[in-house]
Structure 1
Amino acid sequence: MASLGLKTLPFKKYWIALSSLVLIISTIKILGADDVFRAWHINETTSESVKERSIWLPSYFIATEPKTLDGITDNASGITWSPITNSLFIVINGQNEVFELTLDGDIVRRIPLKNFRDVEAITWVGDDQFIVADERDQSLVKLTITPETSKLNKQDFPSFTMGVESGDNKGFEGVAWDPTDNAIFVVRERDPMRLYKVYGLVSDGSPSQVSIKKSKALSKAAKKRNNDLSGLHFDHNSGNLLVLSHESNLVSEINARGDNISFLELGKGWHGLDNTVPQAEGITMDDNGNLYVISEPNLFYKFSRNTET
């Protein structure tokens, strides 16, 4: 029996190695060789201290099955989380409405928007205040949404129009609030892709007090590996910015220096996804570190951190 074991051991090792190779090749074929290598390289070359200080997107996996939003048939766009209500707020364009959702994606209420042309993004900016982006006009509007709010008219609230290359359908696609300096990050989708930071709108709301700055380092990082820019979220814990691209099926984490720290692939086979996220349009996080993505026409995704990764 001993001699038989010695003869069959190499044969078993051969089949184990071959099976492992087939599995690796299949995984690379599904996920893409470049993406697999990039993920491996980033993980191996990033220090543990940087991982601990950052959001570290490779540790995130889909928490629940993607959910179809009841009552919404099309155009789900931006999303934000409010700690005041511990709920999510999304915007849809076309008919232009704000929806409040639970953290599981159930609709709490819907709020019609009047005199808006094409609402694409929303971010909470403290108390019961929100900034929404009207894409076609390239305007930012500061809204007040209380538990009693049932409708919103753009003409009742302060707004600021940047007016740079406006009028087409490639305007503002994402907004995010940076509470450290009370400013708003804004991205233009593409043709060309832009990343701005707007000061004065949150604190004062008067157009005369608003100023715009551009960071070459952040803009370069935001455009890296992305074919478009569709959503933003600023994480106050790490000080890093999440940039979403629906054409590239990618979330990028960027620090204040403009370094790309980590990535979240939104393609089939990545992070527990059974299917590719079809058109990711908005992204946000809550204070428990859960990450939420909204996908047009009406899909809701929730990702949570795997602490063992």
Structure 2
Amino acid sequence: MATQPLSMFKSARRSRFALRWYVWLFLVAVVAYGVAFAMHWDNRGVLWVKERFASPAERQASIWLPDYHAVIDAKPLPGMEKDEASDLAYDPQTKTLFSVMGKNPFLVELSLQGDVLRKMPLVGWSNPEGVTVLGNGLLAIVDERDHLITVVKVDADTRELNIANFPKYDLGPSKDQNKAFEAIVWDSPNQQLLLGEERPPALFAWKSDGKALSGDKLKLASHALDVRNLSALAIDPRTGHMLVLSADSHLLLELDKKGEQVSFIALLGGFHGLKKTIPRAEGVAMDEAGTLYMVSEPNLFYRYEKQK
């Protein structure tokens, strides 16, 4: 008679242990799904599968980010540890890069190896977060806090820029005024500026002749922007495809001319030549040879090249 209660006790204990184990697995699964959903890993998984079936011709006609490898990894920009690099743009005329610093406003010109060539204070700007090269020495700078685009002139003798000396355009209100317009890129073939709101991610177009803006901005379809935030934009001059950078998702997306996803690259340590995860990728640019450049807060420079 004594063995039966003991057997029942052991059985109940096993049942409670199994129940706790199932509850633990369920909680782990819920958390894992929540992280995957927040990071959009489910969407990346779908795109990863699609990439496996892409033909050589399709890959050749695109940027094809999976083939890129970091050749300059987290190079510090000297003296800018407290300045917060916020965007990056390539100038095909000078063969240099321009970046804006958001915390202490200034424009910096960089070599293609990430060397600092000059720093130009931005007098009158509150929080410059986006920059793009229009050509002929003209650049457009986005101030996220003041919701302005300013078209400035930069030449070899420029040492400082004062916002009072240049034309300004009001970007208007955003859903989240603290996470407003942050990305900008010049779309030369279509004679327009493309703008990106940080959160929720959204795209806009504003017509321009490369000197001044005309009309008003128009919202574009943004169904492919399944990222947590939008940090920066760039356009590949060879294919016309757009690059979308997301710091929160640690991701760079390639979109075709129809706005559909083509390929992606994870900005995580251990992938594509990175020793460590890019802390907060805020700027991206691409030159006419297809070389890829990035900057990350606070002051890190990256260069990617396509593997042959």
**TM-score past 0.5 threshold:** yes
> Which residue of the partner structure matches residue 278 of structure 2?
277
- For structure 2, which runs of at least 5 residues remain unmatched after alignment? 1-40
Q: What CA distance in whole angstroms lies between the structure 1 residues aligned with 2:275 and 2:300?
A: 14
Q: What CA distance in whole angstroms lies between the structure 1 residues aligned with 2:53 and 2:265?
A: 17
Bigger Rg, structure 1 or 2 = 2
> Which residue of the partner structure matches residue 99 of structure 2?
90
> Which residue of the partner structure matches residue 298 of structure 1?
299
Correspondence 1:148 to 2:146: no
For 1:43, what is the secondary structure of its paired residue?
helix
For 1:297, what is the secondary structure of its paired residue?
coil
For 2:72, what is the secondary structure of its paired residue?
coil
Q: What CA distance in whole angstroms lies between the structure 2 residues aligned with 1:274 and 1:182?
A: 39
% identity of equivalent residues: 34
> Is the Cα–Cα contact under 8 Å of residues 279 and 297 in structure 2 kept in the other structure?
yes
Q: What CA distance in whole angstroms lies between the structure 2 residues aligned with 1:305 and 1:85?
A: 23
**TM-score, normalising length from structure 1?**
0.82
> Which residue of the partner structure matches residue 23 of structure 1?
none
> Is the Cα–Cα contact under 8 Å of residues 138 and 211 in structure 2 kept in the other structure?
no
> Which residue of the partner structure matches residue 200 of structure 1?
208
- For structure 1, which runs of at least 5 residues remain unmatched after alignment? 1-32
Return the letter of the residue paired with 2:59.
K
> Which residue of the partner structure matches residue 50 of structure 1?
58
> Which residue of the partner structure matches residue 264 of structure 1?
265
User: 1:47-79 CA distances to partner (integer Å, 9 max, x unpaired)?
Assistant: 222211111100100012320110211311111
Pair 1:160–1:173, CA change in 2 (3 A)? same
Correspondence 1:214 to 2:219: yes
Shift of 1:243: 0.3
Shift of 1:164: 1.9
> Which residue of the partner structure matches residue 126 of structure 2?
117
User: 1:130-188 CA distances to partner (integer Å, 9 max, x unpaired)?
Assistant: 11100012211111110000110111111111212288321111111101122111111
**TM-score, normalising length from structure 2?**
0.82
Shift of 1:34: 6.2
Shift of 1:43: 2.8
Pair 1:137–1:294, CA change in 2 (3 A)? same
Alignment of 1:47-196 (within 5 A): 47-74=55-82, 75-165=84-174, 168-190=177-199, 192-196=200-204
- Number of equivalent positions: 268
Q: What CA distance in whole angstroms lies between the structure 2 residues aligned with 1:268 and 1:73?
A: 21
Return the letter of the residue paired with 1:79.
L
> Which residue of the partner structure matches residue 5 of structure 1?
none
Shift of 1:40: 4.8
RMSD: 2.0
